[in-house]
Chains A and B, each alone.
Chain A
Amino acid sequence: MEAMTQDTPSSPPTASPVRRPRWGVVVVWVSLFGLLALLGTGLIRSQQGPINVGSRIPDFSLTTFDGQTYNTADLRGQVILINFWASWCEPCEEEAAELEQAYQGYRDRGVVFLGVNYVDTQPEALAYLDRFGITYANGPDLGTEISQAFRMRGVPETYIVDRQGILVSRKIGPYSSVSEIEAALEAAIGMAP
């Protein structure tokens, strides 16, 4: 009885059974490895941290709220401090005054401060700058291109770059004091020209 209820193959059909087509196999393996490559790359990207100290920063240009344009490529030979901030970011407020203070102390020593305003609205951004009396260059990160290039994860983040465009120090989160900023700047200035 058992054998009878099993499927018994019918007599050999006249048309050939579906042979495994070579192009089909190729397509399947190619798409499979394509998918794996994509997932692997996505995974590597998400695991990547911020830019490492010692590597070159991505060059960018920033147009300030006043209309001036700064190109980091043109700023070779000067130490640059790049600070990502937003008006809606509470931790940013903790370091705003300290950053301005540091700027006042170092502007005559050839240090350029660039404030990159991350996904913000102009009226609120300008009000923030006003509130903390910030005088160094600040501009919006249009299309979030700059923050994406820096693989920025959140605000505030600060990157200090030496005269050759190499990252000397980075700070994730707000600086706790002016002396911390000054120490980092000194280290960058002290690097060989």
Chain B
Amino acid sequence: MRSSWRLFLLLAIGLALLPAPAAAQDGEPTDDEVNAIARGLYCPVCENVPLDVCPTQACAQWRAIIRQMLAEGRTEQEIKDYFVVQYGERVLAAPPAEGFNLLVYLIPPAAFLAGAFMLARIIRRWTRPASSAAGAPATASDDPYVERLEQELRRRA
């Protein structure tokens, strides 16, 4: 019985010592904290304007909402989710990687790999192996003129 009380006390002290999010402790969130979150969001009305620099009155209202939610202790993810529910997915700076939007992140690497693969096949068909190259092996010459001369001679061969 007593040991479990001690354990409980230890736990309570430990929890009290855990750093709590600054916003919840200090009260009023700073402009910087609001801006840090607003940077990752876009103005729902004006296209392609980030929320921290948008000058319209509506955007000022949205920043006020962020401030209020921070004061309530919400996390960045919760605030972003709230904005998505309220205003749609376009308020996020990049689409969430789910559903149809997965294509944003998958197509470029897929296209690149496909292109690289095709190019590799073409080059392999096209490349003559270096060992059968006509002429003497290249002597690493310092003089660019001599080198160019050799290249020209090789070309003419």
Binding site for B on A (CB under 8 A): 10, 13-16, 18, 24, 86-88, 119-121, 124, 140, 142-145, 148
Main secondary structure of the interface of A (DSSP, over half): loop
Q: Which residues of B contact A148 (CB under 8 A)?
A: 88
Q: Which residues of A contact B155 (CB under 8 A)?
A: 10
* 7 A–B contacts, CB within 8 A, in A order: A15-B126, A15-B127, A18-B126, A119-B44, A119-B45, A121-B61, A143-B88
Tell whether B56 is near chain A: CB-to-CB under 8 Å. yes
B122 lies within 8 A of A18 (CB): yes
**Chain B stretch 78-126: residues in CB contact (< 8 A) with chain A:** 84-89, 118, 122, 125-126
Binding site for A on B (CB under 8 A): 44-45, 56-58, 61-62, 64-65, 84-89, 118, 122, 125-128, 155
Minimum C-beta distance from B128 to chain A (A): 6
B45 lies within 8 A of A15 (CB): no
A/B pair count, beta carbons within 8 Å: 44
Q: Which residues of B contact A121 (CB under 8 A)?
A: 61-62, 64-65
Minimum C-beta distance from A139 to chain B (A): 12
B88 lies within 8 A of A145 (CB): yes
A13 lies within 8 A of B128 (CB): yes
Q: Which of B87, B127, B128 has the most CB of A within 10 A?
A: B87
Q: Which residues of B contact A86 (CB under 8 A)?
A: 58
- With both beta carbons as reference points, the residue of chain B lying nearest to A87 in the complex is identified as B61
Q: Which residues of A contact B128 (CB under 8 A)?
A: 13-15
Q: Which residues of B contact A124 (CB under 8 A)?
A: 61
Q: Which A-B residue pairs are the 3 nearest by beta carbons? A: A88-B58, A143-B88, A119-B44
